[in-house]
């Protein structure tokens, strides 16, 4: 099966307000898609719908992931199936360490997949390896999840979690916002390390910057809840120079 994700006629609302007004999008295995667009276009809503955020209501349309009805799955079931969302605003969990958090996440997924529990030593080796990969200092392992982290540290923690969970389909919701160039390169290398013929990603961004390091296969422009333009990576350059004006389909 070539298509990893198939979105058809997707409409979604927050309360009474319709945000997504008919999205069609197909992502094949191995592809990285960039979604760009002005503020309020619905980019974050799209990513949240795919991850299953409960306050969003899908009013029309279907989403198939590996041929399964994604919208019928609970957020944790989506995670077990290999979906990962890097949050635009990562949530703080005081009193729960990064180690405890990741242990719970990995144990739950392995259980769901019918795999035996990871041995403590193996888990710690993985934790150390992935922290080093995103250049997080080892003492972060015992710190509470995102509590008191700077913006950049939170984003780095998202990429660390992504590396730990090794998703099949990653969604990055403005992971680049507020990052300096060094942090941006770490984020990009995290995503690029996941690239393989089986895996895919959606990279949501306002800026060309990140897409200089993660070169997408396909670029979409989302405006007012609809995809108004789809093209190859050359579209990024055009948007960078001319903005979103005139890209109304």
Partner 1 sequence: MDSLFVIGRDTVPGCFEALPGEPLRLTFVVLPGTSCAVETEILLARPGCEADIAGLYLCDGDDRFSLKLNLRHDAGECRSRQLFKGMASGRSRAIFDGRVYVGHGAQKTSALQENHSLLLGDDAFVESRPQLEIYADDVECSHGATVGSLDEQQQFYMQSRGIPRDEALRLQKISFLSPVLGRLPETLFNEVITCL
Give me the residues that bind partner 1 (CB under 8 A), please.
Answer: 51-55, 74-76, 78-80, 84-85, 87, 90-91, 93-96, 100-101, 104-106, 108-109, 112, 144, 161, 165
Q: How far is the CB of 199 from partner 1 (least distance, A)?
A: 17
Q: Assess contact for 222 and 36: CB atoms under 8 A.
A: yes
Rounded distance between C-alpha atoms, residue 171 and residue 48, angstroms? 9
Cβ closest to partner 1, residue 100 vs residue 141: 100
Hey, is 7 helix, strand or coil?
strand
Shortest separation between residue 76's beta carbon and partner 1, angstroms: 5
Residues in the chain: 249
The residue (of 68 and 248) whose beta carbon lies closer to partner 1 is 68
Please say which residue, 167 or 239, places its beta carbon nearer to partner 1.
167
Smallest distance from partner 1 to CB 54, Å: 6
User: In whole angstroms, what is the distance from residue 100 CA to residue 88 CA?
Assistant: 22
Dist. CA 131–CA 97, nearest whole Å: 14
Q: Which two tokens stand for residue 195?
A: 């690239």
Nearest to 79 by CA among 124, 110, 55: 110
Nearer to partner 1, 91 or 121 (CB): 91
């Amino acid at each position: 099966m070539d298509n990893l994700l198939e979105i058809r006629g997707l409409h979604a609302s927050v309360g009474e307000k319709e945000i997504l007004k008919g999205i069609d999008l197909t992502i094949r295995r191995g592809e990285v898609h960039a979604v760009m667009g002005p503020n309020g276009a619905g980019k974050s809503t799209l990513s949240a719908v795919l991850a299953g955020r409960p306050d969003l209501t899908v009013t029309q349309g279907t989403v198939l992931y590996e041929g399964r009805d994604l919208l019928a799955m609970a957020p944790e079931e989506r995670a077990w199936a290999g979906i990962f969302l890097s949050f635009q605003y990562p949530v703080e969990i005081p009193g729960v360490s990064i180690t405890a958090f990741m242990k719970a996440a990995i144990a739950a997924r392995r259980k769901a997949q019918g795999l035996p529990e990871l041995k403590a030593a193996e888990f710690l080796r993985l934790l150390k390896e992935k922290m080093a990969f995103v250049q997080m200092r080892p003492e972060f392992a015992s710190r509470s999840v995102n509590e008191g982290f700077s913006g950049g540290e939170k984003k780095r923690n998202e990429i660390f979690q992504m590396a730990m969970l090794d998703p099949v389909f990653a969604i990055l919701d403005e992971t680049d916002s507020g990052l300096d160039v060094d942090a941006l390169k770490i984020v990009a290398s995290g995503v690029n390390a996941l690239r393989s013929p089986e895996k895919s990603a959606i990279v949501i961004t306002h800026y060309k910057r990140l897409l200089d390091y993660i070169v997408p296969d396909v670029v979409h422009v989302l405006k007012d809840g609809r995809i108004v333009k789809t093209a190859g990576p050359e579209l990024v350059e055009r948007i960078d120079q001319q903005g979103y004006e005139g890209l109304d389909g």
